[in-house]
Amino acid sequence: MAEPSRPQLPGSIKKLNRLLGRQKLGEIPEHELKEQFVRGSGPGGQAINKTSSSVSLIHLPTGVRVQAQPTRSREANRKAARRILAEKLDLMIAVGSWSREGQAKPDSVVAGDGSPLSSAKSEAETSVPSRKESRRAEEVAMAEQWSRQEILWEKERRRKANRAKKSKRKKRDGEADEDDA
């Protein structure tokens, strides 16, 4: 069975930034997490080494483990660990190595028996969307199909390609100036 193809990412860094703005990191239910506070390490000396401010999170369904200690605050480290774990799970879902079974999409309305509800739309809702609204809808759909990490990788790849073009152009223009002289 062939894997469904994803749409190609946009060509400009500006459009990639818009896609990143449309990214929604899913909330991880607390019952899927095992949280531990462990002793910190690294710069900071005795103050950091004797406090248990480093956060270790384990996502029980996948077994993915994340440890975070960007600050000395336990609460800030908890938020950072959850954000990192959400990004890892997002990447795993986008690549297809893991999926959340039985999780309804937030926009779908489901009846008590599990069947989708159909609602009658007014004329205003069924009218043709403006260009801005259709572009926004396309961006949201694309943002759901690509993980945040993949978009960041593509953005970095485009930056490097733009730098290489610029230096090549500079070199070519510099050689042309020397020939003229």
Q: pLDDT per residue over 89-110, tens digit each? A: 888 877 777 776 644 333 333 3
pTM above 0.85, yes or no: no
Q: What's at 106, amino acid-wise?
A: P
- Residue 104: the pLDDT is 34
- Residue 105: the pLDDT is 37
The whole-angstrom separation of Cα 70 and Cα 40 is: 10
pLDDT, tens digit, for every residue of 57-67?
999 998 999 99
The whole-angstrom separation of Cα 11 and Cα 93 is: 23
- Residue 57: the pLDDT is 92
How does the average pLDDT of the chain come out, rounded?
77
pLDDT, tens digit, for every residue of 7-36?
788 888 888 888 888 777 678 888 999 999
120 pLDDT above the threshold of 60:
no
The whole-angstrom separation of Cα 28 and Cα 20 is: 20
Angle between helices 13-22 and 131-145 (to 10 degrees): 80
- Residue 96: the pLDDT is 74
The helix or strand, by DSSP H or E, that contains position 121, with its residue range, turns out to be none
Judged by average pLDDT, the poorest of 62-66, 114-118, 150-154 is 114-118
- Residue 181: the pLDDT is 59
Q: How far is CA 124 from the centre of its chain?
A: 33
Q: Is 23 exposed, middle or buried (0-12, 13-18, 19+ CB in 10 A)?
A: middle
Confidence category of residue 159, pLDDT binned at 50, 70, 90: very high
For residues 127-142, average pLDDT: 78
**Dihedrals φ, ψ of 6, to 5°?**
-100, 155
Pair of tokens at residue 89? 């799970």
| Cβ neighbours of residue 122 closer than 8 Å, sequence gap 6 or more | none
- Residue 59: the pLDDT is 92
Percentage of the chain modeled with pLDDT above 70: 79
